């Protein structure tokens, strides 16, 4: 994969671009004009963090950054062999860009989505070549988390699946697992009900956020409690995943708690906004 595209330069898109650039590929990141500088800075800051932690040399960091171009021009993606969409979980927006990309890239190029909740087949059907579309679900923070879920649809070409699995494992150095195309895939289908249960427990006043988290960390050996994990994932991300799971399965454990909806309405998204179940503005 000499040239790779990433649609969206937010937290996930920037992380994907960084990992791809460090692997040796040239990366184009599509962003809105007003967000170009922020996306570039996001990638540069993360690379600098890797240098400070001793995981990356100054030379390799500079080389990786030199391979990244943040642009507003989707037409420049025409020579990309792989494009990974990492936009917000808004289906209409993703459909629009899959349709555009289908007209721009070569028929041999692979289109992937980093969606965590939208059925991949819907995005594939926005193209004339659904056999080359699949899910490539990374986890946050992408440079640190070792997993990529490869999500297969009923229409995807098995050769495309194998090519992406090989690229993710041998070039990007990620562990891959394969999931069928159903809401939540493997990880979120198991994780989100757990997070929602913790939110319901807190919502009823049964226990404090600190005690719920301490219980799971020290009683079950989890590295992070469920409420702090929800804050880290982003409550604005947890909500649409829960809604998608509930729409797909109609089972009570997937129904978003009212508190989660109200916190998202209030702009309390967790760590990214400075406030969620915890206050991250305090020093």
Q: Are residues 105 and 87 in the same domain?
A: yes
Phi, psi of 57 (to 5 degrees): -80, 160
Longest dimension (CA), the chain: 56
Task: Give the mean model confidence (pLDDT) for residues 257-281.
Answer: 96
- Asked if residue 14 is part of any domain, the answer here is yes
For residues 127 and 154, membership in a common domain is answered with yes
- What global pTM score does this model have? 0.89
Mark whether 76 and 209 lie in a shared domain.
Answer: no
Tell me the C-alpha distance between 257 and 209, whole Å.
15
Domain match, 17 and 127 both: yes
Answer yes or no: is 32 within a domain: yes
Q: Which of 136, 139, 114, 143 is closest to 42 using CA atoms? A: 143
Structure tokens at 218: 């020290």
Measure the CA angle with vertex 259, ends 197 and 204; round to 5°: 60
Residues 6+ apart with CB under 8 A from 227: 195, 198, 199, 202, 209, 212, 213, 276, 277, 278
What CATH number has the domain bearing residue 57? Answer: 3.40.50.720
Render pLDDT for 196-231 as a digit per residue (tens, 0 to 9).
999 999 999 999 999 999 999 999 999 999 999 999
User: What is the rounded distance in angstroms from the CA atom of residue 178 to the CA atom of residue 185?
Assistant: 9
Domain boundary among 142, 164, 180: 180
Question: 64 and 57 in contact (C-beta within 8 Å)?
Answer: no
Tokens of 137: 């679900």
Question: Nearest CA to 16 among 78, 68, 89?
Answer: 68
Q: What is the pLDDT of residues 15-51, one digit of tens each?
A: 999 999 999 999 999 999 999 999 999 999 999 999 9
Alpha-carbon span 77 to 135, nearest angstrom: 19
What percent of the chain shows pLDDT beyond 90?
Answer: 92
Verify that 172 and 232 share a domain, yes or no.
no
Categorize the per-residue pLDDT at 1 as very low, low, confident or very high, splitting at 50, 70 and 90.
Answer: confident
Q: Are residues 225 and 171 in the same domain?
A: no
What is the DSSP secondary structure assignment for residue 261, as one 8-state letter?
A: H
What is the average pLDDT value for the chain, to the nearest integer? Answer: 95
Given a cut of 80, whether residue 279 has pLDDT beyond it is: yes
Q: Residue 252: exposed, middle, or buried by beta-carbon count in 10 A (0-12, 13-18, 19+)?
A: exposed
- 45 and 164 co-located in one domain: yes
Q: How far apart are the first and last CA of the chain?
A: 43
- Please state the φ and ψ torsions of residue 200, each to the nearest 5 degrees: -65, -40
Judgement on whether residues 157 and 20 belong to the same structural domain of the protein: yes
Domain boundary among 139, 157, 180: 180
**97-152 per-position pLDDT tens digit:** 999 999 999 999 999 999 988 899 999 999 999 999 999 999 988 999 999 999 99
Domain boundary among 152, 180, 208: 180
Residues 210 and 175 in one domain: no
pLDDT-derived band of residue 59, with 50, 70 and 90 as boundaries?
very high
Domain extent at residue 151:
3-180
Please tell me the total count of domains within the chain: 2
Please give the pLDDT value at position 89. 85
Residues 175 and 194 placed together within one structural domain of the fold: no
Q: Please state the separation of Cα 103 from the chain's center in Å.
A: 24
How far apart (Å, rounded) are the C-alpha atoms in residues 165 and 10? Answer: 24
Helix (H), strand (E), coil (C) string for 31-75: CCHHHHHHHHHHHHHHHHHHHHCCCCCHHHHHHHHHCEEEECCHH
- Asked if residue 155 and residue 259 are part of one domain, the reply reads no
| Same domain? 29 vs 139 | yes
The whole-number pLDDT of residue 117 equals 81
Point out the residues that are catalytic: 116, 137, 149, 188
Q: Do residues 188 and 117 lie in contact, with contact meaning Cβ atoms separated by under 8 Å?
A: yes
Confidence of residue 283 (pLDDT cuts 50, 70, 90): low
Q: Answer yes or no: is 278 within a domain.
A: no
Structure tokens at 143: 């440079």
Q: Environment class of residue 173 by beta-carbon count within 10 Å: exposed (0-12), middle (13-18) or buried (19+)?
A: exposed
């Amino acid at each position: 994969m000499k040239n790779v595209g990433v649609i969206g330069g937010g937290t996930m898109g920037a992380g994907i671009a960084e990992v791809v650039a460090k692997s040796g590929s040239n990366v184009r990141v599509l962003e809105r004009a007003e967000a170009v500088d922020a996306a570039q800075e996001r990638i540069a800051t993360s690379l600098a963090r890797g240098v400070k932690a001793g995981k990356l040399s100054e030379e390799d960091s500079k080389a990786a950054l030199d391979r990244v171009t943040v642009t507003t021009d989707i037409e420049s993606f025409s020579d990309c062999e792989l494009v990974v969409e990492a936009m917000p979980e808004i289906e209409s927006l993703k459909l629009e860009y899959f349709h555009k990309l289908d007209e721009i890239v070569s028929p041999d190029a692979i289109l992937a989505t980093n969606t965590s909740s939208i059925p991949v087949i819907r995005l594939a059907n926005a193209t004339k070549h659904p056999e080359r579309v699949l899910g490539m679900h990374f986890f946050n923070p992408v440079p640190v988390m070792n997993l990529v879920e490869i999500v297969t649809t009923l229409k995807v070409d098995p050769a495309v699946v194998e090519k992406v699995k090989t690229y993710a494992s041998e070039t990007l150095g990620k562990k891959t697992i394969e999931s069928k195309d159903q809401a939540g895939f493997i990880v979120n289908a198991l994780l989100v009900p757990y997070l929602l249960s913790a939110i319901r427990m807190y919502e009823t006043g049964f226990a404090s956020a600190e005690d719920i988290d301490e219980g799971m960390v020290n009683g079950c050996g989890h590295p992070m409690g469920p409420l702090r994990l929800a804050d880290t994932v982003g409550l604005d991300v947890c909500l649409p995943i829960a809604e998608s799971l509930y729409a797909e399965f109609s089972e009570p454990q997937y129904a978003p708690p009212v508190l989660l909806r109200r916190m998202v309405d209030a702009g309390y998204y967790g760590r990214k906004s400075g406030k969620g179940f915890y206050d991250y503005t305090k020093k």
